Amino acid sequence: LNAQKKSTAISTDNKITEKVLQEVLDQNKHFASQGKVADYIPELGKMNADAIAFSVVDTNGKVISVGDTDKKFTMQSISKIIALMVAVQENGEEAVFKNMGYFGSDKPFNHFGSLEITGKPLNPMMNAGAILTVSMIEGDGETAFQKVLKMVRFITKNNNINYNETVYLSEKETGHRNRGMFYIMKNSGLINGTEDQLDNYFKQCSIEVTAEDLAKIGYFFANECVRFDGDAIYKNTDLSKLIQSQMMVAGMYEFSGEYARRIGLPSKSGVGGGITVSVPGKMGIGVFSAPLDSHGNSVAGYQMILNFSKRFGLNIF
């Protein structure tokens, strides 16, 4: 059965060409006009609404990309899956989820959720839980952030990746809801550190990547935390299952249930316009298009993933 599975996967790969990806991009780029570039972080409002990119890392780790592949954008919430990985590696899953749920939600990403009722964030994908997750990564000042950055550089094999200082400062200045959540959790004793920990959250959101980098991240979690080039130093089957389950349940926020119905693949979006997708045991997909829908998910990005996953029958259900 395994041999049969493998051969199906390889024949899928053979059909994934630049030409097919270009077709997917061309057929769906018009959807961008239905969305709106995020401007609640003022610096994000300056993003080019026309830039669009689509990238796949196939089952053999081969990278195929079309569109504005060199275009950098900030990871934003996609950084939450990397922080979750680092926090769980350091503290173990039990400690990380002691004060946080595995819940899905019908609430947007910046909602306080049940913070005031149960005192605990709903999940590590919404802002409250992500801020708590970041606070659990050990180290003073920027140390915890550097661990997240290092992991992004490892997974993408791209040491040029860094954070965008202007976007970081813009969010630090205006991120009052996030600051509110941070202090509620400090008040209830969930967070013990200083505001450096909140800054580390803002910094990780400002890490700049390309669609190709996102496809590599998708591949990594789809393949037991093994990198696209086969480097297995972080191989961890259980951790990859945890991360993908959270992507499935909450990675697209209150749209996650409908997204699971339409696309059926663990995915994580960011308000920078990126989405990273894991096709379990197979490949990774990375998309970029800045205009967002009302949930904070890239409109054209979603449509490209939908179209591509239908063509190749990738829905895991």
Residue 253 annotated as part of some ligand binding site:
yes
The only residue of 12, 28, 76, 210 in contact with ligand DON, by rule CB under 6 A: 76
Under the criterion CB under 6 A, does residue 127 sit at the interface with ligand DON? yes
Stretch that binds ligand DON, among 23-31, 217-225, 234-242, 267-275 (CB under 6 A): 267-275
Of positions 285, 296, 302, 306, contacts ligand DON by CB under 6 A: 296
Specify whether 219 is catalytic. Answer: no
Size of the site for ligand DON (CB under 6 A): 12
Q: Is 109 in the site for ligand DON (CB under 6 A)?
A: yes
Catalytic residue status for 226: no
Active-site residue identified among 163, 168, 201, 259: 201
List 12, 55, 65, 77, residue binding ligand DON (CB under 6 A): 77
Out of 168, 253, 259, 302, which one is annotated catalytic? 253
- Cβ atoms of 125 and 242 closer than 8 Å: no
Q: Is 167 in the site for ligand DON (CB under 6 A)?
A: no
Q: Tell me: does residue 301 bind ligand DON (CB under 6 A).
A: no
56 is catalytic: no
Q: Is 271 in the site for ligand DON (CB under 6 A)?
A: yes
As a dihedral over the C-alpha atoms of residue 127, residue 35, residue 30, residue 12, rounded to 10 degrees, the angle is 20
Q: Could you confirm whether 253 is annotated as catalytic?
A: yes
Residue 103 · residue 256 · CB < 8 Å: no
Interacting span for ligand DON (CB under 6 A) from 134-142, 227-235, 239-247, 263-271: 263-271
Q: Which stretch, 21-29, 115-123, 189-197, 264-272, contacts ligand DON (CB under 6 A)?
A: 264-272
Burial of 224 (0-12, 13-18, 19+ CB in 10 A): middle
Q: Is 201 annotated as a binding residue?
A: yes
**Residue 67's closest CA among 259, 166, 214?**
214
246 binds ligand DON (CB under 6 A): no
Q: Which two tokens stand for residue 17?
A: 């060409």
Residue 127 annotated as binding? yes
**Residue 205 touching ligand DON (CB under 6 A):** yes
279 is catalytic: no
Single out the residue of 65, 105, 110, 223 in contact with ligand DON (rule: CB under 6 A).
110
Say whether 171 counts as a known binding-site residue: yes
Given the rule CB under 6 A, which of 2-10, 116-124, 237-245, 266-274 is the region that contacts ligand DON? 266-274
Establish if 288 lies at the interface with ligand DON (CB under 6 A): no
Closer CB to ligand DON, 146 or 174, in the complex: 174
Dihedral class, residue 261 (left if φ above 0, else alpha if ψ from -120 to 50, else beta): alpha
Q: Residues at the annotated binding site for substrate? A: 77, 127, 171, 178, 201, 253, 271
Would you please indicate which residues are annotated as catalytic (active-site) residues? 77, 80, 201, 253, 271
Site residues, ligand DON (CB under 6 A): 76-77, 109-110, 127, 171, 178, 205, 269-271, 296
